């Protein structure tokens, strides 16, 4: 018998849930709107929910092997260094030799060259810590104990995320990791699709709870949201996810368009601040409550990401292939 050559096995493509990417798009909208400098005051609370969603998803999709987790963290570290160099170079160019600062160069401090880079910096550290706990076999066995421990430390955070690492966001990151042990994404999505009434009721209850809890706290003389533990942010995070699921259920084409932006999230998140620098240099372009800016910017950056991905697939995979999405 003549042996037949073995065919090369290829790994199946990773399954993506449309509502996850659509929820990221909703979150990105509020973040970019805030960074335009002309969003309403209530948008700051909405951005808290957006950050919460980013970190929960990052923790949920983190690899459960210490080596892969560390490799992904190092890939994001490389991405952080590249964009820090680019942002610092542009700053020095347009500011005509502004004051150099290593802290500002790496996105550390409120006057950083590219403030959104704190997000990458935090994810690099959180994933390296997760890789260490996986190597020590503290994870995933004791993931809920780790979440509880970090939640106790979260009350001590008083500084901005631009200045220091935050225990509360690390707690949210680890909460996403722990949720992965409790519920499978595919099964959860299938159950929610089959129970659309639950989506509507959950959205209404969350909206009521978000607005009722501060009133209840004031009536009982309790500082409900004064601690840094992102209680309200978690509410908004769940709300964004449920809204995205509703869009998938009733407006699938809209959800798919939003999901395209969500799949290019890291690219949009890093580059949007460089584009918005034009609005900072020319204030006359910054119209009051310019909601059209994040919509237009998300569309343009999503198209640009797809264009560059087709033109330079290896370079884009090298730059954005180790991100937690």
Is 199 inside any structural domain? yes
Is 13 inside any structural domain? no
Range list of H helices, the chain? 18-35, 43-60, 66-94, 102-105, 117-135, 143-154, 167-182, 185-194, 196-219, 231-250, 252-263, 265-281, 292-311, 313-320
Q: Which of 37-46, 92-101, 302-311 has the highest mean pLDDT?
A: 302-311
Lowest-pLDDT choice from 7-11, 83-87, 100-104, 162-166? 7-11
For 118-141, the pLDDT digits (tens) are 888 889 999 999 999 999 999 999
- Check residue 276 and give its pLDDT: 78
Is 6 inside any structural domain? no
- Name the band, by pLDDT with cuts 50, 70 and 90, for residue 11: very low
Is 209 inside any structural domain? yes
- Check residue 79 and give its pLDDT: 84
- Check residue 107 and give its pLDDT: 58
pTM: 0.85
For 175-193, the pLDDT digits (tens) are 999 999 988 898 888 887 7
Is 261 inside any structural domain? yes
Residue found under tokens 């699938």:
252
Is 94 inside any structural domain? yes
Is 50 inside any structural domain? yes
Total structural domains in the chain? 1
- Name the band, by pLDDT with cuts 50, 70 and 90, for residue 12: very low
Is 136 inside any structural domain? yes
- Domain span at 133: 24-295
């Amino acid at each position: 018998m003549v042996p037949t050559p073995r065919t090369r096995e290829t790994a199946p493509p990773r399954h993506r849930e449309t509502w996850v990417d659509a929820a990221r798009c909703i979150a990105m909208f509020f973040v970019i709107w805030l960074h335009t400098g002309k969003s309403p005051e209530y948008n700051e609370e909405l951005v808290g929910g957006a950050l919460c969603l980013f970190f929960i998803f990052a923790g949920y999709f983190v690899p459960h092997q210490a080596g892969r987790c560390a490799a992904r963290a190092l890939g994001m570290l490389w991405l952080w260094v590249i964009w820090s160099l680019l942002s610092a170079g542009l700053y020095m160019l347009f500011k005509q030799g502004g004051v150099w600062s290593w802290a500002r160069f790496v996105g550390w401090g409120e006057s950083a060259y590219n403030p959104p880079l704190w997000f990458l910096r935090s994810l690099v550290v959180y994933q390296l810590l997760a890789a260490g706990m996986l190597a020590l076999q503290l994870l995933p066995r004791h993931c809920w104990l780790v979440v509880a421990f970090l939640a106790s430390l979260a009350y001590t955070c008083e500084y901005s995320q631009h200045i220091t690492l935050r225990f509360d966001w690390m707690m949210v990151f680890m909460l996403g990791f722990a949720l992965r042990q409790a519920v499978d994404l595919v099964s959860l999505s299938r159950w929610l699709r089959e129970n659309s009434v639950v989506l509507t009721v959950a959205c209404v209850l969350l909206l009521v709870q978000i607005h009722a809890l501060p009133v209840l706290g004031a009536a009982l003389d309790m500082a409900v949201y004064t601690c840094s533990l992102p209680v309200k942010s978690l509410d908004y995070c769940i709300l964004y996810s449920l809204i995205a699921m509703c869009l998938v259920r009733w407006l699938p084409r809209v959800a798919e368009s939003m999901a395209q932006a969500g799949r290019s999230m890291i690219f949009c998140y890093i580059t949007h601040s460089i584009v918005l620098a034009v609005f900072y240099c020319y204030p006359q372009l910054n119209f009051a409550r310019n909601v059209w800016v994040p919509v237009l910017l998300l569309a343009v950056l999503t198209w640009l990401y797809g264009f560059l991905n087709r033109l330079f697939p290896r370079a884009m995979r090298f730059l954005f292939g180790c991100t937690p999405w």
